């Protein structure tokens, strides 16, 4: 029976997009709410800004992630096309190149040539894509998946400050949005660290620091702006 191992590398694509989306949704929308609230605006204006921030941010994250990952996919495709052409024009040189890679990794020249021969007989392009270009299914670019994950998780992260803006008394709005956002940021940071195999408290502290900084600066700007308008 084949022994199957699951590695954290397989989670890199969706995890990066999801954590980035949730953190950005929470931090940006909470900061927006805190800044508008600090300016002295009424609840209706704060809530409108929160909802607009959720929608605009989710669409922006989806578009940005799609463009970014599509560029990666284009690069991977161009590399594969070039490699396919080299295999078609000079199979012998490509086999020697693959064998040299295995020699650098510790195989004897004779064994490296045998491995290169067998792998290229089975699937030459796949062998070069993996061992020469570093491509793999686990890290392959998936633009639509990344865009969807970013948009959905941004909206999920942004939902907390929107809900708080709708139900909390105006006098407590900025403080409760800040407190609840920091708690959720700690949870997200710890969860991301846990899934990625890192130290949980360190991941939590990172996002708490940047979240608190973003909301603090936004509150300061809102207060200054509100005092001058």
Mean pLDDT over residues 123-141, rounded? Answer: 69
Residue entry with tokens 């300016």: 39
List the structure tokens of 66.
Answer: 């799609």
Alpha carbon distances (Å) from 70 to 15, 76, 175: 17, 10, 40
Please say whether the beta carbons of 208 and 185 come within 8 A. Answer: yes
> Is pTM beyond 0.85 here?
no
Q: What is the DSSP string of 130-156?
A: HHTS---STT---HHHHHHHHHHHHHH
Q: What is the mean pLDDT of the chain?
A: 82
* CA atoms of 7 and 73, how far apart (whole Å): 22
* CA atoms of 194 and 98, how far apart (whole Å): 37
Alpha carbon distances (Å) from 160 to 26, 54, 61, 95, 215: 7, 10, 18, 56, 14
Report pLDDT digits (tens) over 21-35. 788 899 999 999 999
Report pLDDT digits (tens) over 147-171. 888 889 999 999 999 999 999 998 8
Mean pLDDT over residues 75-92, rounded? Answer: 77
Neighbours of 185 (CB within 10 A): 26
Q: Band of the pLDDT at 85, cuts 50, 70, 90? A: confident
Share of the chain above pLDDT 70, in %: 86
Report pLDDT digits (tens) over 192-208. 787 777 788 888 899 99
Burial 82-94 (b: 16+ CB within 10 A, else e): ebeeebeeeeeeb
């Amino acid at each position: 029976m084949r022994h199957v191992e699951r590695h954290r590398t397989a989670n890199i694509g969706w995890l990066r997009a999801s954590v980035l989306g949730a953190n950005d949704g929470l931090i940006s929308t909470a900061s927006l709410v805190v800044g508008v609230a600090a300016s002295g605006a009424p609840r209706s204006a704060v809530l409108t800004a929160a909802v607009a921030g959720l929608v605009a941010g989710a669409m922006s994250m989806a578009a940005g992630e799609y463009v970014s990952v599509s560029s990666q996919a284009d690069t991977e495709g161009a590399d594969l096309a070039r490699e396919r052409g080299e295999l078609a024009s000079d199979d012998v040189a490509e086999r020697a190149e693959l064998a040299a890679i295995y020699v650098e990794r510790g195989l004897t020249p004779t064994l490296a040539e045998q491995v290169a021969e067998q792998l290229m007989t089975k699937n030459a392009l796949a062998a070069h894509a993996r061992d020469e270009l570093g491509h793999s299914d686990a890290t392959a670019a998936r633009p639509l998946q990344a865009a969807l994950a970013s948009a959905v998780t941004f909206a999920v992260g942004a939902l907390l400050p929107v809900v708080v803006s709708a139900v909390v008394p105006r006098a407590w709005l900025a403080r409760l949005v800040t407190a609840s956002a920091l708690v959720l940021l700690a949870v997200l940071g710890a969860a991301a660290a846990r899934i990625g195999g890192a130290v949980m408290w360190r991941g939590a502290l990172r996002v708490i620091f940047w979240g608190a900084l973003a909301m603090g600066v936004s509150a300061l700007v809102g207060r200054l702006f509100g005092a001058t308008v």
